[in-house]
Amino acid sequence: MEKICGAVRLSPESSTTARLLLPLTRNLSRQHGVVSFNRLVGVRLPHRHLTSLTSLTTHCSPSPSPPVSASVATETSAKVIDGKAIAKQIRDEITEEVSKMKNAIGVTPGLAVILVGDRKDSATYVRNKKKACESVGINSFEVRLPEDCTEQEVLKFISDFNDDPSVHGILVQLPLPSHMNEQNILNAVSIEKDVDGFHPLNIGRLAMRGREPLFVPCTPKGCIELLHRYGINIKGKKAVVIGRSNIVGMPAALLLQREDATISIVHSRTKNPEEFIREADIIISAVGQPNMVRGNWIKPGAVIIDVGINPVEDTKSPRGYRLVGDVCYEEACKVASAITPVPGGVGPMTIAMLLSNTLISAKRIHNFQ
């Protein structure tokens, strides 16, 4: 299967139907990586979200500056990095391994999700995690608590799951009600079951040479997996990560560094970000700004992993909006050598990585190779 930006070339077995991602404005749903990938579900965008959509038409707006001569290639067609197809491949591999484990030692990996309150979007995320688990044979356990429950009640469930040998991964669905201390609750999850990979010990180990985290955060892990599976060499390359959030940008930069790339991190205070971005052989963008990275910011032949999921107004769409990445796709695919689409790029990988982390956890706990 090979997809080329602009003209799409597909083998018959390729799946090209882009599933509509659940578009969340970042302010409304500050989620951890595992939660973010649950943006993978097709639901109607609630009206309150529509009010904060960035007003854009279906195309990138005109470039504010003239294109640099290096990036005016007009006929180049980047290879499309098909996250949906790779995620399916990974889920198939997980299904096989889960079955092997069950047959060999009678253990089925289990993921527990705690949902507090009655937010519809959170409920949808949890339902989709459950479905994803079922699809690969992983057991899922769900606890739903009312909005007005106490922090102690949540902590009690976490403690029970920490002690439960049939649970190998624990997720607390965010956001939590405002009367709860998120840090207290997340810190209560055993590091051995922290399949989100956000525990400070996991992040600390990720940052240190010679140390291994027990889990790598799902979205950045999915970005690197895409590079690996497309045979893109990282070692010795110049990479730029746009965004430095705890859940995506920062761990993505740490991962690239572990792969021997030389990293620049661009953030909201970076002056002239395009100057850094133009230097990069590999770009990972996790900003949340629709179409921010223009074609003329990109070095010809660069590889682009676009994590951003941004709903923008689209009057031509039956839903009145569509999703775009941080990178202006139609410009970038004329300059880059490979690029992830939005949707259908990084998004599907995040949930596949959650399943992968749960399997890894079960294997480690039961010493199953």
Which stretches of the chain bind ligand NAP, using CB under 6 A?
26, 33, 36-37, 219, 242-245, 247-249, 266-270, 273, 286-289, 292, 307-310, 346-347, 350
Q: Answer left, alpha or beta for residue 74, where phi above 0 means left and psi between -120 and 50 means alpha.
A: alpha
Longest dimension (CA), the chain: 63
369 is catalytic: no
Spacing of C-alpha 157 from chain mean position:
27
The residue behind tokens 């949930």 is 351
Q: Which among 196, 281, 306, 326 is annotated as catalytic?
A: 196
Least Å distance between CB 342 and ligand NAP?
8
Known active-site residue 173: yes
Query: Closer to ligand NAP at the Cβ: 338 or 346?
Result: 346
Three-class SS of residue 127?
helix
Residue 269 corresponds to which amino acid?
Answer: R
- Whose tokens are 């775009």? That residue is 324
Among residues 139 and 245, whose Cβ is nearest to ligand NAP? Answer: 245
Name the catalytic one among 82, 84, 121, 173: 173
Q: Minimum distance between the CB of residue 271 and ligand NAP, rounded to whole angstroms?
A: 10
Instruction: Enter the tokens of residue 131.
Output: 């479905």
Question: Nearer Cβ to ligand NAP, position 81 or 167?
Answer: 81
Q: Give the residue from 263, 302, 319, 309 showing the smallest Cα distance to 286.
A: 309
Catalytic residue among 129, 193, 221, 299: 129
| Nearest residue to 274 via CA among 70, 23, 137, 40 | 70
Is there a catalytic annotation at residue 299? no
What is the smallest separation between the CB atom of 332 and ligand NAP, expressed in angstroms? Answer: 16
Shortest CB 285 distance to ligand NAP, Å = 8
Look up tokens 């991962």; give the residue. Answer: 255
Q: Which is nearer to ligand NAP, 137 or 288 (CB)?
A: 288
What residues contact 233, with CB distance under 8 A and at least 6 apart?
none
User: Residue 161 or residue 276: which is nearer to ligand NAP going by CB?
Assistant: 276
Q: 213 near 197, Cβ under 8 Å? A: yes
Q: How far is the CB of 132 from ligand NAP (least distance, A)?
A: 13
The catalytic residue positions are: 129, 173, 196
